[in-house]
């Protein structure tokens, strides 16, 4: 498609075609991922850690994510942009969620929003979809609830599997167009994917979800710390960028850069 729309994601599920999604937090990366054919870009609240240096997603504000969303939207011509609603901006009520989502939609230019949670946020999801704002839901390990969940732990094991499936069906019934499944056992994600009409997007959820998402600085090796088990590094950007900076520094110190070709007569 010339411009990816949510009905394309449904068509791909119905046709059994898997699709990729990446986070993006700024104009240059959005332009690169759009050009690389990534159909869906998520302005994740993982920007809290990956761009702003917070140690969790909890502190990031609507205004901070809104600025990043605008930059990403300016960088795409084809990719669908989904904006995360940050912690505290939608939990109180469907009215609060709508007020926040309207900002990401109207000021930010996003084509959809994402929020964390299941059946307990069905009212929020319904209010947004009724207003014409498509909603992606996020179940399993939900980072905004890190403290309630007792840290970074796989969700939906054992009896938790039934709860996960109930939540997935509830958000679908409330109007969600897709459901992220984060850190859930592969067989449970497979079951949810089979039971849902709408696409599932896995991260640490095994190979059988309809789509896969990764946080781009993880996937591209810009983050160098210990990565979660589900991350695959496709590049070494930290190495490449650090190397470029060191070479520039060396050449300045040695008088190798600039030369005549970089200078004006
Ligand atoms: O914020 C984020 O990056 C996310 C994805 C991991 C799904 O929510
Ligand atoms: Na997120």
State the binding site: 45-46, 84, 114, 116
pLDDT at 24: 99
Grade residue 48 by pLDDT with cuts at 50, 70 and 90.
Answer: very high
Residue of the nearest CA to atom 8 in ligand 1?
A: 44
CA–CA distance, 203 with 140 (Å, rounded to integer) = 10
Among 78, 79, 77, 83, which Cα is nearest to 40's?
A: 79
Helix (H, G, I), strand (E, B) or coil at 132: coil
The distance from CA 95 to its chain's CA centroid, rounded to whole angstroms, is 24
Whole-number percent of the chain with pLDDT over 70: 100
Query: Shortest CA distance to 111 belongs to which of 77, 153, 62?
Result: 77
Average pLDDT over residues 42-56: 98
Residue among 162, 182, 195, 254 flagged as catalytic:
182
Q: How much distance in Å is there from the Cα of 23 to the middle of ligand 2?
A: 9
To test the pocket of ligand 1, the residue of 138, 183, 204, 216 to mutate (highest count of ligand atoms within 8 Å of its CB) is 138
**Burial grade of 208 (CB within 10 A; 0-12, 13-18, 19 or more):** middle
- Asked whether the beta carbons of 31 and 76 are under 8 A apart, the reply is yes
Matching CATH number, 6-219, of 3.30.70.20, 1.20.1250.20, 3.30.590.10, 3.20.20.60: 3.20.20.60
- pLDDT one-digit tens code per residue, 5-25: 999 999 999 999 999 999 999
The answer to whether 60 and 48 are in contact (CB under 8 A) is yes
Q: Which among 21, 47, 84 is the best mutation to test ligand 1's pocket, defined by most ligand atoms within 8 Å of the CB?
A: 84
Please answer whether residues 196 and 172 qualify as being in contact, where contact means their C-beta atoms are separated by less than 8 angstroms.
Answer: yes
Instruction: Write the CB contacts of 55 (distance below 8 Å, at least 6 apart in sequence).
Output: 49
**What pLDDT score does 93 carry?**
98
* Structure confidence at residue 112 (pLDDT): 98
pLDDT, tens digit, 9 for 90 and up, residues 116-174: 999 999 999 999 999 999 999 999 999 999 999 999 999 999 999 999 999 999 999 99
pLDDT in tens, 27-39: 999 999 999 999 9
Average pLDDT, the chain: 98
Q: Average the pLDDT over 182-190 and give the result.
A: 98
pLDDT at 187: 98
Q: Is 182 a catalytic residue?
A: yes
Mean pLDDT value across residues 188-205:
98
User: Rounded to two decimals, what is the model's pTM?
Assistant: 0.98
Say which ligand is closest to the CA of 212.
1
């Amino acid at each position: 498609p010339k411009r990816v729309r949510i009905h394309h994601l449904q068509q791909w599920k119905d046709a059994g075609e898997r699709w990729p999604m990446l986070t993006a937090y700024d104009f240059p990366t959005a332009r690169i991922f759009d050009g690389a054919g990534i159909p869906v870009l998520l302005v994740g609240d993982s920007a809290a850690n990956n761009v702003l240096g917070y140690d969790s997603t909890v502190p990031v504000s609507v205004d901070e994510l809104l600025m990043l969303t605008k930059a990403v939207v300016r960088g795409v011509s084809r990719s669908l942009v989904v904006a995360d609603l940050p912690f505290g901006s939608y939990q109180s009520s469907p009215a609060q969620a709508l007020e926040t989502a309207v900002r990401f939609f109207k000021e930010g230019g996003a084509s959809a929003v994402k929020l964390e949670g299941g059946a307990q946020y069905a009212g929020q999801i319904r209010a947004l979809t009724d207003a014409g704002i498509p909603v992606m839901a996020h179940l399993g390990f939900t980072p905004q609830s890190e403290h309630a969940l007792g840290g970074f732990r796989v969700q939906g094991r054992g009896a938790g599997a039934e709860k996960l499936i109930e939540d997935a069906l509830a958000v679908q019934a409330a109007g969600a167009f897709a459901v992220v499944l984060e850190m859930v056992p592969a067989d449970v994600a497979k079951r949810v994917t089979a039971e849902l009409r709408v696409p599932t997007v896995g991260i640490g959820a095994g190979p059988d979800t309809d789509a896969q998402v990764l946080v781009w600085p993880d996937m591209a090796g810009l983050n160098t710390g210990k990565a979660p088990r589900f991350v695959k590094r496709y590049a070494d950007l930290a190495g490449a960028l650090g190397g470029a900076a060191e070479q520039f520094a060396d050449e300045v110190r040695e008088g190798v850069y600039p030369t005549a070709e970089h200078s004006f007569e």
